[in-house]
Structure 1
Amino acid sequence: MSMASLNFPLHPPPSLTHSSSTSCSIPKGFVPCYNIHALKLKGHLQTSQSRRSLLVVKSAVGEGREASVVDPPPSTPDFPWDAPSKSTLKFNLLSAVSGLNRGLAANEDDLQKADTAAKALEAAGGVVDLSVENIDKLQGRWKLIYSSTFSSRTLGGSRPGPPTGRLLPITLGQVFQRIDVLSKDFDNIVELQLGAPWPLPPLEATATLAHKFELIGSSKIKIKFEKTTVKTLGNFSQLPPLELPRIPDALRPSSNRGSGEFEVTFLDSDTRITRGDKGELRVFVIA
């Protein structure tokens, strides 16, 4: 007996839905038998549109011979889970560096966790562009919340700097960067508390390390040191600011020539990540 195609709606006729029998009235010469299978589409995320069933209708023509009249669609690939948002990655980074006293209390495990969280946010943010039309994004006063260099227990990190500890009791307070894109001023402002012999109270002061900066490429910044000014606070706040003499470049160690470079690897309206020329990772938030 020859095969023939059957053309009918996807939904079975009433004679099929109201009868428990597998036979129905069709043109003479055909004895169809209908098997309806509901197949779920594969996928981790199933929307209301994808939650549908596939009807496969088979017609038995003769004995042991079947012809498929509705072909199943190709299988759909698994849907990947949504990637974490930048706000989530930013929260992860801030959580990783919280409680580390800006990095002074960080151990090797803390350094690795902070670096991993920073890399995830950097990747999500993409390439930073600080060209002429975007340079204003640097403008403002930024508060340092983490520096990998502080784990070395010196204020200079991998560069020479005063140690923190009992030999020279310096307590590090808040650290800020003040950037003016018009004047090209780039000031590091450090709050310090210097221990004094009893019964004298500790000396509180703010040291401003003034620099000029220039943009190199699209995201790299070069700074050149100019001067350091110290302003006493608290009981000695009426003293005039003191400008520390600058060490001549010829007397400076080769690793501390008063200039440096760093790359801005992430930047938005309230968070900035930089990586220095000696591998320093620093995280800032707008103050």
Structure 2
Amino acid sequence: MASLTCLPYYTLLPSHSPSSSSSATTCLVVGNPKRCGLSLKNSRSRQRFGLTTRASVDEVSALDEVSGLAKDAVDDVTSLGRSPLKLKLLSAVAGLNKGLAASEDDLRKADAAAKELEAAGGPVDLSTDLDKLQGRWKLVYSSAFSSRTLGGSRPGPPIGRLLPITLGQVFQRIDILSKDFDNIVELQLGAPWPLPPIEVTATLAHKFEVIGSASVKIVFDKTTVKTTGSLSQLPPLEIPKLPDGLRPSSNTGSSEFEVTYVDSDTRITRGDRDELRVFVIA
């Protein structure tokens, strides 16, 4: 997939090379919640699936919240069989750092779990379900990140070499009325000691159109880089699209992907280079 539906790496931060980040352990409720401390958030996605561990928590309160989580998950789907399949998929990709830490075995397990959920959900028809794409989505897994480059299955900056860059959260913001499709990437850039790391957010702006019943085409427009944290007062820097003559032949500025599963809080897409991506509503 292109530009975070395969990143157009030349627009992100040319010559920089990200390294994978260590992220907090994610614990999914697929067994006995007493096995890990749970701190349940109130947002819709985390209330159902993303549970962050912490040192201590009232077990009685946690059990009450888990009961509510399970009821919400069942109520949110039309078939009782879908809820455990969704949890199975999210469990398979948990702890893989968005796919950066995925092994071949992890890739196979994630793909198999995604196929089960896709089969249970049936064909996606965006002519009637386009409104389900609306909103801000958090990327929890990309099979292409296992290639250890931010370009995924396309050429991109290698991870873990040259300059220290840590990949943070990745989001997609979709507006079905304006046809805006923005990929939002949080990065932390290492700085020479004793300077603190520089935190930035890169927004890769696209326009999208639906092709057929479930395919989406996105066309890259521009990248805007904004410093955050202690340097948030600096103005954003806009990086326009490269002219066709200077653009790498591997990056056409557009890409297509198929939405293979979507409901109110979970979305699965498969890209034009067999890239599997899993999102939850943010």
Alignment TM-score, normalising by the size of structure 1: 0.69
Distance in 1 between residues matched to 2:148 and 2:163, nearest whole Å: 12
Distance in 2 between residues matched to 1:214 and 1:245, nearest whole Å: 21
Alignment-derived partner of residue 242 in structure 1: 237
Cα–Cα, structure 1 residues 84 and 135, in superposed 2: closer, same or farther, change >3 Å?
closer
Secondary structure class of the residue paired with 1:102: coil
Alignment-derived partner of residue 113 in structure 1: 109
Measure how far apart 1:84 and its partner are.
7.6
Distance in 1 between residues matched to 2:223 and 2:260, nearest whole Å: 27
Q: Check if 1:207 corresponds to 2:202.
A: yes
Alignment-derived partner of residue 163 in structure 2: 168
Identity in percent: 79
CA offsets 1:119-167 (integer angstroms, 9 cap, x no match): 0110111000100x32111100000000011111111111122222141
Secondary structure class of the residue paired with 2:277: strand
Measure how far apart 1:88 and its partner are.
0.7
Distance in 1 between residues matched to 2:173 and 2:155, nearest whole Å: 22
* Greater Cα radius of gyration, structure 1 or 2: 1
Structure in which a larger fraction of residues adopt helix: 2
Alignment-derived partner of residue 126 in structure 1: 122
Alignment-derived partner of residue 213 in structure 2: 218
Structure 1 letter corresponding to 2:166: T
Which structure 1 residue ranges, 5 or more long, are not aligned?
A: 1-82
Q: Check if 1:189 corresponds to 2:178.
A: no
Structure 2 letter corresponding to 1:268: D
Runs of 4+ in 1 over 2 A off after TM superposition: none
CA offsets 1:201-258 (integer angstroms, 9 cap, x no match): 1110000000000000010000000000000011111000000132112221222011
CA offsets 1:58-84 (integer angstroms, 9 cap, x no match): xxxxxxxxxxxxxxxxxxxxxxxxx98
CA offsets 1:244-283 (integer angstroms, 9 cap, x no match): 1321122212220110000000011110000000111000
Secondary structure class of the residue paired with 1:142: strand
CA offsets 1:26-83 (integer angstroms, 9 cap, x no match): xxxxxxxxxxxxxxxxxxxxxxxxxxxxxxxxxxxxxxxxxxxxxxxxxxxxxxxxx9
Secondary structure class of the residue paired with 1:248: coil
Q: Check if 1:88 corresponds to 2:84.
A: yes
Alignment-derived partner of residue 63 in structure 1: none
Matches within 5 A, 1:137-156: 137-156=132-151
Distance in 1 between residues matched to 2:158 and 2:219, nearest whole Å: 23
Distance in 2 between residues matched to 1:218 and 1:156, nearest whole Å: 27
Contact 2:220 2:241 in 1 (8 A): no
- Ranked by relative contact order (alpha carbons within 8 Å, sequence separation 6 or more), the top structure is 2
How many pairs were matched up? 204
Distance in 2 between residues matched to 1:137 and 1:246, nearest whole Å: 29
Distance in 1 between residues matched to 2:158 and 2:164, nearest whole Å: 8
Alignment-derived partner of residue 263 in structure 2: 268
